[in-house]
Structure 1
Amino acid sequence: MMKRTLAVFEILGLLVAVFLSGCSTPKEEYSKHFLWKVSDENSSVYLLGCIHFADSSFYPLDSVIINAFDRSDELAVELDISDSSVIKESVRLSSELGALKDEKTLDMVLPEDVLNSLDSLCLSWYIPSDFFYGYNPWAAAMTLSAIALQRTKFDARLGIDLFFLMRAHEKKQIISLETVEEQVSVFTGVGIPDSIGIFYLKNLIQEIAMLDSSITLFRRAWKTGNDSLFHVAMNLSTKKLDHSDSLLLEVVNENVYYSRNRKMSESVEKFLAENRNVFVVVGTAHLISEKENIIDILHRKGLTVEQL
């Protein structure tokens, strides 16, 4: 699974179900968790790194995680995907923002080798080859990622964030850290040149061949709180990039991760300043990615951060 897409899969999975309208493992013991307590002088919040797509083997969650949630008054997530109006608006905006303009179609934009690879993958998945042709390259890559994940039997409906959203209903206030437009803009590539979207899509198609192995590692890493193994899973299929491609990857990471991490860190600071007891659930990669992750940002701000 491409590490660049992990953070926005939960909405994509639900959207793909609309667009397509059409493995469990032995229980592992938790050694630690992707759960942190972040504190200032007089208050604290919890930060949980989640998997947006999961299966039944992730449940029941460890009591340390459940107890932290139960002690909190509010739940903060990237976006409240349990709200039908959010899904409806996401579908509308995705169709609007992810579409190519000026009567172009994806087959007109992609280099021949990338188009052939995409068509071959669609053929192997029994998807019409022109299914993605209305998307811009970035949106096509994001949607392809969601479909690939669904084929592994991981399900957005079993995602850790959705689990807590359903548990919070009528019990806790739910806070969205991002607006629908902000998140949809990320996975439709608003402001991203087609050249970067093409780079993104080309690499994703190559890496899908490693998806089953990546998923196995992600599952084991999350269940045991093993950040080293999580990093291995994130980089399992990452090939050595030349200087030009490395620059393109930085643009991708800035859009998907770094800018969002800075904003979400500001929200955590605000919760602490207002003495609010909040349980925050965001994609694990936002918390432990190798560069500019939320945990490191909060450390630099002088806050006390303890992993549980």
Structure 2
Amino acid sequence: MKKLSATILTLGLLTSGLSSAHAAEKASSVWLNGKQIQFSNSAPIVEKGVTLVPLRPLLEQLGVNVKWDQATHTVSGSKGSLSLSLKIGSTNATANGKAVKLDAAPKQIRNVTYVPVRFVAETTGYQVAWNQSLRQVTLTSKQHSEGRGFLWKVENTGNTVYVLGSIHHVPEGMYPLRPEIEDALKAANYLGVEVDMSAVTSEDLQKQVLELGVYKDGTTLKDHISADTYNKVTAFLKANGMPENSFDIFKSWFVTQQIMNIQVAKEGFTPEKGIDNYLIEKANEAKKPIVSLETMESQMKMNNNFSDALQERLLLQNLDPKSVTPPSPDVSIDDLNKMWIQGDEKALNEFTTTGWDAEYFQGLINDRNEEMTKKIKGFLNGDKKETYLVVVGMLHLLGNEGIVPSLEKEGFKVTKQ
């Protein structure tokens, strides 16, 4: 996996909203313990709100022994002490010896047998979750270890704030999160995020980009970066089938974000799958209020205020890392996901505190930590005895000026979850 700027960890807005304000609808996919199940040319279908998938690939991936009775058009399967039976065209089925009624009957389409994925998976011992925005069914075995993540519980005078470190790009199949995280959202009166992109319209986004991401003084991108760097930008565009002048009107920081979005998407990661967006969607479904710790404008201004020299280094870090001294540690998205899944505080703390350009770290991390900590302290000092789940990029958690140690220094009760 290509190494990328650490910005992917910290900016919920610029690694999600700028790539697409609204994800396009797509066909359903099915993921088993983090790996997508391939159905060849027979894609899953949705009928009356029920996802049906080709029988044989599903049962093979679940480790279920399959039997087919041609005379009765009945499918039976077994896995250890677990068993199921379904009949084509009938909503009557059996699950572990008990009769059940299916929401949709199994059917055959072009000689392919389709069955309800939820019934089959739950009967054979798997947890099932559905993500509407991704059109993704996630199957998780009871033995599968969910990612730990980074979660703290902070308490003061009857108020509780759960602080969760997020990754804005994660592999499909990550969800549901471990029970402590899911339960923290259920217990929360409010969800706090860096920026609630579900409340940002495409018109608002375009307005801010035109205000802060576009040159207005008659200059173009090539006037603000070296000829060599500009040639690398045009080469990148050409390699990705885009006109070589596509980025000319945009400032370096915005170009960096667009290049990064293209790179991570090619690796199978999209911001719509991020932990913060997953929790935003669940909060909206539960009609929980969402509060933003920052604004879209403040995040853009932070990037816009970086010096031209730093902006060019960030651009090169994504285009040609070996050609420049990186302003932040170079790690892969796979490494970051591994760090999150394992809940490796030592690795996160080391990543947060070493190998940073001073200007970049001050603007990207320290200044924002200070403002977000103030907001969280306000929640903890409120007089309504409320509970919040606050989700921020995991780079904001630790280190000398991190949110968690800052709250500890203030005397709040902080407990690792």
Common fold: TM-score over 0.5: yes
1:164 and 2:279 matched:
yes
1:36 and 2:152 matched:
yes
CA offsets 1:265-303 (integer angstroms, 9 cap, x no match): 011100010033111111111113x44221122122222
1:195 and 2:303 matched:
no
Aligned residue pair count? 292
Unaligned runs of 5+ in 1: 241-245
Question: More helix per residue: 1 or 2?
Answer: 1
Structure 1 residues 17 and 252 mapped into 2: Cα distance closer, same or farther (>3 Å)?
same
Asked if the contact 2:147–2:178 (Cα under 8 Å) also holds between the matched residues in 1, the reply is no
SS for the counterpart of 1:88 is helix
TM-score by length of 2: 0.63
Aligned to 1:217: 335
Asked if the contact 1:2–1:204 (Cα under 8 Å) also holds between the matched residues in 2, the reply is yes
Asked if the contact 2:190–2:291 (Cα under 8 Å) also holds between the matched residues in 1, the reply is yes
Q: CA RMSD in A?
A: 3.1
- Larger radius of gyration between Structure 1 and Structure 2: 2
User: What is the identity, as a one-letter code, of the residue corresponding to 2:271?
Assistant: A
Aligned to 1:115: 230
CA offsets 1:14-49 (integer angstroms, 9 cap, x no match): 322369x9x984576247431110122433210111
Asked if the contact 1:79–1:180 (Cα under 8 Å) also holds between the matched residues in 2, the reply is yes
Aligned to 1:58: 174
Aligned to 1:272: 380
In the aligned structure 2, how far is the partner of 1:232 from the partner of 1:254?
17
Asked if the contact 1:36–1:306 (Cα under 8 Å) also holds between the matched residues in 2, the reply is yes
CA offsets 1:103-136 (integer angstroms, 9 cap, x no match): 1110122112212222222232223222221111
In the aligned structure 2, how far is the partner of 1:143 from the partner of 1:185?
17
Percent identity, aligned pairs only, is 25
Aligned to 2:364: 256
1:1-308 pair list within 5 angstroms: 1-17=4-20, 25=34, 29-30=145-146, 32-85=148-201, 87-169=202-284, 170-187=286-303, 189=304, 191-207=305-321, 214-230=332-348, 249-274=357-382, 275-288=385-398, 290-308=399-417
CA shift, 1:2, in A, is 1.2
User: What is the identity, as a one-letter code, of the residue corresponding to 1:204?
Assistant: N
Structure 1 residues 9 and 44 mapped into 2: Cα distance closer, same or farther (>3 Å)?
closer
Structure 1 residues 150 and 254 mapped into 2: Cα distance closer, same or farther (>3 Å)?
same
Unaligned runs of 5+ in 2: 25-30, 36-139, 324-328
SS for the counterpart of 1:13 is coil
Higher relative contact order (CA 8 A, sep 6+): 1
CA offsets 1:63-118 (integer angstroms, 9 cap, x no match): 11101111111111111111243x43122101221112311110122112212222
In the aligned structure 2, how far is the partner of 1:59 from the partner of 1:212?
27
User: What is the identity, as a one-letter code, of the residue corresponding to 1:193?
Assistant: S
In the aligned structure 2, how far is the partner of 1:152 from the partner of 1:264?
31
TM-score by length of 1: 0.83
CA shift, 1:203, in A, is 2.5
CA shift, 1:227, in A, is 2.9
Aligned to 1:243: none
Question: More strand per residue: 1 or 2?
Answer: 2
In the aligned structure 1, how far is the partner of 2:270 from the partner of 2:352?
19
Asked if the contact 1:214–1:233 (Cα under 8 Å) also holds between the matched residues in 2, the reply is no
CA offsets 1:234-293 (integer angstroms, 9 cap, x no match): 79xx9x7xxxxx6xx2111222111111100011100010033111111111113x4422
CA shift, 1:212, in A, is 11
